[in-house]
Amino acid sequence: MVKDHIFFNKYDLGGTEPEAFAPDYHMALSWQRLADGKAIEDMDMVLVKHELKERELMFEQGMSYNEAHRIAEKEFNYKKLADIKDGLL
């Protein structure tokens, strides 16, 4: 479910047609570590939890992507962990 949500499903992201999420460097690295089952970091599990929460809010509660993302980010802040890893915070 999470893999489809991140990489394959298309959503109303504000454009004229449903679209997939933009590629994200840290998400790709997290997913690769999870798929390999090696060197898994705390942020990788935060990614999974964030995406599960976001998906739940969108599909079970009918929220828009933007609304679901904001709520999921409050509980599971993957972007903050990626920014820390990049030395931005």
Report the candidate in 66, 35, 63, 30 with the shortest Cα–Cα distance to residue 49: 30
Q: Please give the structure tokens belonging to residue 5.
A: 């949500």
Task: Determine the Cα angle at 16 with ends 13 and 17, to 5°.
Answer: 70
- Model confidence at 89, in pLDDT bands (50, 70, 90)? confident
> Which pTM does this prediction carry?
0.90
Q: Give me the count of residues in the chain.
A: 89
- 6-57 confidence digits (pLDDT tens): 999 999 888 899 999 998 999 999 999 999 999 999 999 999 999 999 999 9
Q: Please give the structure tokens belonging to residue 53.
A: 């929460």
Q: Where are the domains of the chain?
A: 25-89
